Amino acid sequence: MISWRRLLGLALTDYFHGAGWRVEVEKDLALKRQLPGVLIIEREPGQSTDLSDGFETLRPHNLLAYQSMHEPLDAWAIEELIGHYVNYRQDFRFGFKNRSG
């Protein structure tokens, strides 16, 4: 079975290559090991190039959720994304590098 999240992550990694952005695919953001369907797009230090195709308003740190046609983007999925955002923000703020589950 095709991992659509991984495929999207690889496509966005290629798209942002050399543009001053880093894409992380399936980063562990939980205290207990969990790989969310979230991509992290983070601005790298230095000069970035102009982006298009809906990416022109990216902030320095961005979490992007992917839902397939078989998974609804419902309230639960949004709450899960917010939870991953909080974990990511804490990782960034406090400099956590590795979490063990």
pLDDT of 10 reads: 84
For 33-79, write each residue's pLDDT tens digit: 555 566 667 788 876 777 777 777 888 877 777 777 788 888 888 88
Q: Where are the domains of the chain?
A: 4-94
Q: Rounded mean pLDDT of the chain?
A: 74
Centre a 10 Å sphere on the Cβ of residue 68 and count the other Cβ atoms it contains.
11
Backbone angles phi, psi at 89, to 5 degrees: -60, -40
pLDDT band for position 99 (cuts 50, 70, 90): very low
Predicted TM-score (pTM) of the model is 0.49
Which of 29, 7, 2 lies closest to 96 in space, CA to CA?
29
Pairwise CA distance, residues 93 & 22, whole Å: 18
Segment 26-36 mean pLDDT: 56
Report the chain's C-alpha Rg in angstroms: 14
